[in-house]
Structure 1
Amino acid sequence: MSEAARRTLAFAAVATVSTAGLWFLWPQGRAPTLASFRMRTASISMPESLDVTCAVGDDPEDTLFVLHTTDDNYNASYLPFRSSPRNSLPTLDHTDSLPLDCLESFFSKGTQCEDWMTLAPRFDFVWTWVNGTDKLHQQAKLETEREFFPARQRPAQRPGQTPPSKEAKHFRDHDELRHSLRSVLNNFRQHTASFHLLTADFPIPAYEQNPVMGTDLCGALDSSSWRLGQVPQFLNLEQDRWLDGDIGLTVSHHSQFFSNYSGTSFNSFAIESQIPHISNLSKHIVYMNDDYFLTGPLKPYDFYTPEFGTVLRIQSDLMVTPAGQLKRPSGDGSGEWLSLEYSNDILSRRFGYRRRPYVIHEAKSASTVILREMVHTFPAAFDETAHNKFRMTPSLGPQRDLHTFFTFAHYVVERWREAALWAWVVARSADRPGEKWLETAWEELAGPDAKTKTTLTVRSTRRRTLEPDYVKDMLGGESSVGLSTYDFSSKDGYPYSSLGNQGTKKWPDMRNLTGTAEDDAKHPHFKCELSYDTCFAGASDPAALFTRIAFDQLACGDCIMNALVAKSGELGLEALLPARNATAVPRTAEFNPPPMLARTPRWQDADFSLSSVVPTDGQLDLRSWTLQLLHRYRFVIGSTPSRFVSLQSSWQAKQELKKLDRDASKYQLLCVNDDITRQAEDVDKVFRDWQEGKWGSPAAWERP
């Protein structure tokens, strides 16, 4: 069915008790037959007066449900659709492709490709949203709670009663979504491709036959295949397409993109885990909760550039411990910390156990290509998360939730480290003498007198990668640079090597290093020790050495990364690349399938040998393949002026919002959390008025 026809079948819930006041659309020339039905309300959290008006046209698909009630607070809209289950993995794809000679310039010399100017992409923005006051949402939630929770653990709540505040804040609505959308239109319009709104959907409500007509007219919609998709009340359902200028808004309901969908989800982690399955996303997205806002003009530089990769916002001084290294969970499941610890455990099984830093709670940029690769790498974790209807609860046992965007950020960083170490140990091994490959590898790090050394002190040296003038040149000039600060680039190695258990206040700044002992006190990243016996001795082959330093002895791999960066000079990463092949390679060559290392959830189950990883058809240029592998995972850690505000009470909310107004020129990203403990109605009005004052111009898709 076309989107326009789907709009025609719009479901609307309105506060009225007679069909005379109902608002709905109907195809021109098709006069509907109206009949009224009583919903079964015995087991659902709804007023007993909730009725259904069913309008039936000539075509069985042209059936309209309208819910009406005397409850003035009940206001919801729905779009009907046929459910079509998905159960396949998303397709693996290339990231943005660059000519091979450009990749050579980037990674070998650290220079711009002179005759190939790359254009920043346009981004898709993705929001998740739910109207927690919707009666169908409340019904589905109550019924799912009865199934999911044992009776003794289910919250004591009567039908129609407001849920406890700790839970209610996840579903309370202050019209944030409308203004979040407007904030992006105001501040990032020219760089935006489209908006995607992800919302819940529900089964067709149960109803009784009309006692007068005695026919089941609403049966035209088979409840087993049709569902009602929630839409924000502010959207104009009379429009054939939702457009504001050249930016389109698409509403996707959970059962339309979930893999193996099993019913309405009330778990934001589950919903986020299924974003990789949305088929029409561009390669680069910005993920927004409905309480995220852009408060000032931003540029692609603030989220992604072809030269530096995805911008990750990571906090260096707040560390997350893998769940497997904890005696007990750190939270009760209502927040995100349990999910973070579990996600770090998933990452640690694949990349080695360590604490990893917190991903900041604000707008998150991501690569759709890498998100989909993650689903292939951790299929069981994604599938389990998708089926968790509520956030993980320790008292219920082994349920686990993957935190998709925490996992994404660290997956990119760890895949980069893995690719760089594999390039030096395994790919470069083809250039080393067969029987002396291990000694040669040690000599590349320790120098010509390596035979007399069993330990090596490695010191970082000056790098120009993030010098302002260099960044501007790489991006094509001052006009391309945004407001973010680039703090650490993948071209300068691995950022976590010095974080330890407690983290560090700042990321290492490598722009003014001397490469001597006087740098040691500046940051723990700048000095490390390598032991031949711990890191190298006894390795049977390059793949065995690689798994040891990459996953088993993490400090070895971290320090080797620092050494290779230092040996590469002020720019580029020549020291870790395999030798150049004299054979000319077409500058537009692209390897299929895309260059990747093993996609297994545990590193112990993977084969990293050269013959296993790289196709052996005799035509492949190993250096070119390795360059594309590295290019796939490039990133930069950045920071953007931002604010995080928690609303708790009326007076406190007014003070916080005044402070935001006073400091408006000092930040571009904003998150406003609902932590309301009292005066909820007053806080709601204060916040709504503030948003309207900030972003008062309606989008073209809003109802007049």
Structure 2
Amino acid sequence: MLQEIQHIWPEEFAQTSSHRFRGEGRAEDIQVSFFMAHYVMERFRETQLSSFWNYRLDANLDGALDWTERRGFLERMRGWNEGQARLAQVLNSAEGYRFKSGFNDSLQGYETHLARLGFPRSGSSDYEFSGLDGYPFMMQANEFELIQSLDGATIPSFSNNNKNTPYLPHIPADRRLCYFDIDYCLGPQFTDESIPYLDKTTTSQIFEDLAFEKFQCGDCLLHMLRQSSSTTSSAKSSSSSSSSSAGGPGLGGEILPLNTQSPAFRQVIVDLNKYNFVIASSPYSFVQLQEPQEARTKLDNIQSREYIEAFFCINDNLGENQTAVEQIRRIFANFLESRFPTPSPWEKEPPPHHPLLS
């Protein structure tokens, strides 16, 4: 994966590798772990959206979109929006906390599945969100605007990003709401039935805008793609039903190309397996080393939580007192030797009787 990323951004990686310490390059160095995490999430999102757009929405695979293809999509978007509005009604009812939508949750029972495959549970980490359930940071729809839209006259608009906030990964898919603003996301040409045929260039530009520029549109479409197409909006008949399955007809099962023997199908499968991800939460510690005794106490506390916390971050805010600096370095070196007694294969061996290890 890192080789793939480096191939795309060779100059930035070369510049980063020329610095001994992060921040030497006017703080423009690549933070590799963050970079790779976001790259994987974005590529997984892009793979799903482009596969639907190119191989399912474009039913005849000619690279363009005729009115029949567009009309069917628009009808389903309107149905989705109405279903989301009714779902907002249910969630805001007295029984909303008991609501079960029937939306996908690929992490349900994951511990049982891992055990069946012979994999142990991942320590103290809790799995929260899978790429198979949508985009983890999808923009939130305003529940009250959605409910108001049921009057047929009010149309929620999400062209103003400043009034929206993203969901966090711990919010499950069946508690997420999105409204697909058809006019904003697709533009006037897509919805104009007097235009019988949108050529490849226009179709491609609409997708680029939807997926990457007006990103909340792409996130909402992905949310729909990841829900079951059999999901129905039985909440239409009872907005307070606690057992109804609502949300509108999703597009689940409509990501992969239909021709399972085609190169496109094989490539999409490869990319889905390659970029799929799971977001987990883990307990961690963050400490700053400033005074020797305080540093010893903080590091001892981290050591005592070795089997609880898999991650810790340490900053060395040492100041100018050289005596304190040397003491903290010695304390920290001893901590590292105790916490990680087995050197990594690329780690340099310290010279015998190294002063920091005495």
The TM tier, using the shorter chain, reads: 0.5 to 0.7
Q: 1:632 to 1:573 in 2, by over 3 A?
A: farther
Alignment of 1:685 onto 2:330: yes
The amino acid that maps onto 1:496 is F
Query: Which residue is equivalent to 1:658?
Result: 300
Deviation at 1:699, TM superposition (A): 8.6
Q: 1:389 to 1:482 in 2, by over 3 A?
A: closer
- Which of 224, 248, 257 is matched with 1:578 structurally? 257
Alignment of 1:510 onto 2:172: yes
Q: 1:383 to 1:437 in 2, by over 3 A?
A: farther
Q: 1:629 to 1:444 in 2, by over 3 A?
A: farther
The amino acid that maps onto 2:333 is R
TM-score, scaled to structure 2: 0.64
Q: 1:440 to 1:377 in 2, by over 3 A?
A: farther
Query: Which residue is equivalent to 1:409?
Result: 37
Deviation at 1:405, TM superposition (A): 2.6
- Which of 176, 179, 191 is matched with 1:529 structurally? 179
Residues 37-116 of structure 1 aligned to structure 2 (within 5 Å): none
Query: Which residue is equivalent to 1:419?
Result: 47
Q: 1:414 to 1:458 in 2, by over 3 A?
A: farther
The amino acid that maps onto 1:476 is R
Alignment of 1:563 onto 2:242: no
- Which of 266, 283, 288 is matched with 1:646 structurally? 288
Deviation at 1:438, TM superposition (A): 1.7
Percent sequence identity over aligned pairs: 25
The amino acid that maps onto 1:507 is P
Distance 1:383 1:689 in 2: 34
CA contact (8 A) 2:303 2:339 kept: no
SS of 1:576's partner is coil
SS of 1:480's partner is coil
SS of 1:638's partner is strand
The amino acid that maps onto 2:69 is W
Query: Which residue is equivalent to 2:113?
Result: 473
Distance 1:646 1:409 in 2: 26
Residues 592-603 of structure 1 aligned to structure 2 (within 5 Å): none
Query: Which residue is equivalent to 1:363?
Result: none
Structure with greater contact order relative to length (CA < 8 Å, sep ≥ 6): 2
Distance 1:436 1:696 in 2: 66
Deviation at 1:503, TM superposition (A): 6.4
Query: Which residue is equivalent to 1:376?
Result: 7
Deviation at 1:476, TM superposition (A): 3.0
Residues 317-332 of structure 1 aligned to structure 2 (within 5 Å): none
CA contact (8 A) 2:257 2:265 kept: yes
Instruction: Report Cα offsets for 1:417-463 as digits up to 9, x if no partner.
Output: 1111101111223425844222222234444xx9xx89975967533
SS of 2:220's partner is helix
Query: Which residue is equivalent to 1:428?
Result: 56
Deviation at 1:488, TM superposition (A): 1.0
CA contact (8 A) 2:138 2:167 kept: no
SS of 1:424's partner is helix
Q: 1:479 to 1:560 in 2, by over 3 A?
A: closer
CA contact (8 A) 1:472 1:480 kept: no
CA contact (8 A) 1:491 1:634 kept: yes
Alignment of 1:549 onto 2:180: no
Distance 2:290 2:340 in 1: 22
Distance 2:118 2:171 in 1: 22
Q: How many residue pairs end up in the alignment?
A: 277
Gap regions ≥5 residues in structure 2: 88-100, 141-160, 191-197, 232-250, 353-358
Q: 1:471 to 1:666 in 2, by over 3 A?
A: closer
Distance 1:658 1:641 in 2: 17
Instruction: Report Cα offsets for 1:324-382 as digits up to 9, x if no partner.
Output: xxxxxxxxxxxxxxxxxxxxxxxxxxxxxxxxxxxxxxxxxxxxxx2222223233433
- Which of 67, 73, 76 is matched with 1:441 structurally? 73
Distance 2:165 2:298 in 1: 30
CA contact (8 A) 1:456 1:530 kept: no
Deviation at 1:490, TM superposition (A): 0.5
Gap regions ≥5 residues in structure 1: 1-369, 514-518, 520-525, 586-619
SS of 2:180's partner is strand
Q: 1:545 to 1:437 in 2, by over 3 A?
A: farther
SS of 1:482's partner is coil
CA contact (8 A) 1:647 1:673 kept: yes
Distance 1:637 1:667 in 2: 17
The amino acid that maps onto 1:544 is Q
Distance 1:635 1:642 in 2: 21
CA contact (8 A) 1:657 1:690 kept: yes
Query: Which residue is equivalent to 1:188?
Result: none
Greater percentage in strand = 1
CA contact (8 A) 1:456 1:531 kept: no
Deviation at 1:657, TM superposition (A): 2.2
Query: Which residue is equivalent to 1:263?
Result: none
